Chains A and B, each alone.
Chain A
Amino acid sequence: MIADPRSIGRDARAAVVTTIAFVTAVALLPPGSYLALILAWLLLAFAGALLGIGPGHLARRGLVALPFVVAAVPIVFLRSDELLWAGTIGPLSLQVSGAGLRIALTALMKAWISVQASVLLLALASPPSIVTALRRMRLPAVIATSAGLTIRYLEILRDEARRMLRARTARSASPVGDGRERIGGTISWRARTTGSLVGSLFLRAYSRAQRVEDAAASRGATGSLSIGTMPAADSRLTLKVFGVLLLVLIITLSGALLPRL
């Protein structure tokens, strides 16, 4: 996570609202608004540059959403409007629909841009400050506390899981090398081994939770995130919200005014 250490004690509400508004404005663009989408990306890249994140790095981070495009591939071949190409490949007769291609490409670009927006959110605000901001925006206390603690213990338990996985690999319950070597045991044995790892990770997590409870109780905790730990409210919040509205307006208008392909 690339959080600026100075951002931890800051009111992150403006950053959270901006990200959600930006993603929503992008989602509202109709299929084929490639120019508007490029404009939205340029705005994002500019914001990234202000925060010291290069457009190349940002663009690469956006690629994580791409595997999901598999879900939109059928539409390219199954719509029968605006036929771009039809023919046969081997035993298959195929048709490529222009409308379908437009839907798939637009979804892909939106996903790619939206991921970069949340990357920028993390550069602006630390995870705990995002939770505090959401708490301020009336997220129920039990969810906020639970989310805050999940974030706090995430790395500890992931590290624990990594060590257990390494130990399992060392005892040959998982494939080694390029996967062509023999794997140990039967499928049910491997499933049981994995289930036991999950079970023992649960027991470790459970006893950790008890230690945390004891420690918290001895310090007089009441079980919800204390208001006292919140950073001071952002004094320029209203101004920033107007800025966000302007941003949304630019993206939406560009979607309406720029030509679609």
Chain B
Amino acid sequence: MHPQLHIPDGFLSPQISLLLWVASAVLLGAAVRKTSRSDVQLNASQPILMGVLGAFIFAAQMFNFPVATGTSGHLLGGVLAGFLLGPWAGTIVMATVVGIQALLFQDGGLLALGANMFNMGIIGTLGGSFIARGIGTALGGSRGVNILGAGIAAWLAVVAAAGFTTLQLGLSGTTNVAVGLPAMLGVHALIGIGEAMITVAALTFIAQTAPDILSGVASPPQASPARRLATGLVIAGGVASLASLFASADPDGLEAVAEQLGFLNAGVAAPFELFPDYTIPGLDGTTSTIAAGVLGIIVVIVLLLAFARIARSRAKS
């Protein structure tokens, strides 16, 4: 089970492709200005570090680990790149990697490249990195908490990128959003757990082995308590809207298509299986569906917290 986020040409309408090309170009232009400003480590070496780390992200995507028979955890690496290089430089690196995958490996289309850079670079890296920083700062900013924030953000980034991919396909008339969205979110909620685990483990390893490199390349600015609260609220809002995407999903349609496509096997292992048909027995209708969505998110976050705690206690011993 691989992340299905590299949209080939032909699946997006020309209008949507163009719109996302413009959006990506504008935001990448902003990233270029940010990284060229002298207070953000501008020197001759910055593009060299970015280039070599681009090749690193590329190679790191080869690593996978078996979750169960036939299913494996993969790394996309957006939040990892953002954590190691800073959100803006990380976004440029990720967009470059996606571009090279399209040009040299035909992984994703050329006209669809704007959308792919948007989903994996802008949403997955820029958005993910700011969420990671937000969680880290809101919880006090220690190294362990920052890495935990990166883990949660890595999961959110993969799920959000999958959500945006599906919405773009839906707007292009190539997929049915009511069915495609829960299927894509469900599959990528699983893939995202692998992403989060690898991201946390990789950052923990680097923090243990070469703490000076991590503090040199990843030091978010200290924020005031008010700002911490604000970022906390923004993140809560983001999580809630993702939860509502889960909640608004049409479970019957999903299951019908899941059986045809073989998605159902993947879905069986999902944490949402705690709440059959996205509902909680005893509650009725919409309330139950939303409650199940929110609870699902909380379960995943608690699992991540537990995992990060284990990772940190190992790091200390």
Contact = CB atoms under 8 A, between A and B. Distances in A.
Interface of A: 1, 19-20, 23-24, 26-28, 61, 64-65, 67-68, 70-75, 77-79, 92, 103-104, 106-115, 117-119, 121-122, 127, 130, 140-143, 145-154, 156-158, 160-162, 164-165, 173-175, 179-180, 183, 187-188, 190-203, 205-206, 208-209, 212-213, 216-217, 221-224
Contact of B43 (A19, A65, A142, A223): A223
Contact of B8 (A65, A104, A148, A221): A65
B48 A149 contact: yes
B26 interface: no
Contacts of B194: 191
11 contacts: A23-B109, A27-B14, A68-B6, A68-B7, A114-B8, A114-B109, A145-B48, A151-B104, A195-B200, A195-B202, A212-B52
Given A27-B111, A145-B51, A175-B66, 13 more contacts: A72-B174, A74-B257, A114-B9, A127-B104, A146-B54, A161-B63, A179-B70, A191-B198, A199-B202, A202-B56, A206-B49, A217-B45, A223-B46
Interface stretch (B205-213, B238-246, B294-302): B205-213
Contact of B174 (A75, A109, A175): A75
A19 B103 CA distance: 10
Nearest to A70: B261
Given A92-B256, A109-B10, A175-B66, A203 B44 contact: no
Nearest to A157: B59
Interface stretch (B27-35, B130-138, B224-232): B27-35
Contact of B53 (A23, A61, A209): A209
Chain B, interface size: which category? 35 or more
B233 to A, nearest CB: 31
B4 A199 contact: no
Contacts of A79: 176
Nearest to B216: A206
B47 interface: yes
Given A77-B257, A151-B104, A196-B202, A191 B73 contact: yes
Given A194-B63, A205-B56, A206-B213, A188 B310 contact: yes
B127 interface: no
Interface of B: 4, 6-12, 14, 17, 28-29, 32, 35-36, 43-56, 58-60, 62-67, 69-70, 73, 75, 80, 84, 92-93, 95-97, 99-100, 102-104, 106-107, 109-111, 166, 169, 173-176, 178-180, 183-184, 194, 197-206, 209-210, 213, 253, 256-257, 259-261, 307, 310-311, 314
A202 B77 CA distance: 12
A71 B56 contact: no
B54 A150 contact: yes
A103 B52 contact: no
A153 B51 contact: yes
Interface majority SS (helix, strand, loop, mixed), chain B: helix
Contact of A142 (B35, B84, B180, B307): B35
A190 B179 CA distance: 33
Q: Closest 8 interchain pairs by CB?
A: A195-B201, A149-B51, A110-B10, A199-B205, A223-B44, A150-B54, A114-B9, A191-B197
Contact of A223 (B45, B54, B65, B257): B45
A61 B60 CA distance: 24
Nearest to B42: A223
A100 B136 CA distance: 46
A187 B72 CA distance: 10
Nearest to A164: B63
B52 A205 contact: yes
Given A19-B110, A146-B50, A151-B104, A165 B62 contact: yes
Contacts of B62: 158, 161-162, 165
Contact of A150 (B35, B97, B178, B260): B97
Contacts of B28: 140, 143
A224 B35 CA distance: 13
Contacts of B197: 187-188, 191-192, 195
A251 to B, nearest CB: 13
Nearest to A119: B106
